[in-house]
């Protein structure tokens, strides 16, 4: 079976997805570190949550990437499959950590 080739836009899209993941994770790490320093309102369970969510998130990403690779997916499709679930999780964390912290919002 001939391998399908990635088009430049496909490679650009997977690069943009990696960039979105980097942005989301950087924001979450920053807020969590500020929370540890007492500069950002976070739940008391945030440190435990931070550690316990890593293994399942990376296992899911690896599983999705492996599934796409085993089905003959292009490299950009494999990267997209891996980053999709990680970005979704990081985005949810960012939204949760920023909820109620804007101007006029009640602090936790």
Mind listing the pLDDT tens digit for each residue in 35-94?
999 999 999 999 999 999 999 999 999 999 999 999 999 999 999 999 999 999 999 999
The kind and range of the H/E element at 33 are helix 8-36
Q: What is the mean pLDDT of residues 9-28?
A: 96
Q: Is the pLDDT of residue 105 over 70?
A: no
Q: Is residue 1's pLDDT more than 90?
A: no
Q: Is the separation of the CB atoms in 99 and 108 below 8 Å?
A: no
Spatial separation of the C-alpha atoms in residues 12 and 72, rounded to whole Å:
20
Reduce the DSSP state of residue 95 to 3 states and report it.
Answer: helix
pTM, full prediction: 0.83
Q: What is the pLDDT of residue 101?
A: 75
């Amino acid at each position: 079976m001939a391998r399908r080739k990635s088009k430049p836009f496909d490679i650009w899209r997977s690069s943009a997805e990696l960039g979105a993941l980097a942005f989301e994770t950087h924001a979450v790490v920053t807020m969590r570190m500020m929370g540890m320093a007492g500069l950002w309102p976070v739940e008391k369970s945030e440190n435990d949550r931070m550690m316990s969510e890593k293994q399942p998130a990376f296992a899911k990403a690896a599983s999705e990437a492996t599934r796409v690779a085993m089905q003959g997916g292009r490299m950009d499709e494999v990267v997209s499959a891996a980053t999709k679930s990680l970005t979704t999780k990081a985005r949810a964390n960012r939204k949760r950590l920023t909820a109620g912290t804007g101007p006029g919002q009640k602090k936790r």
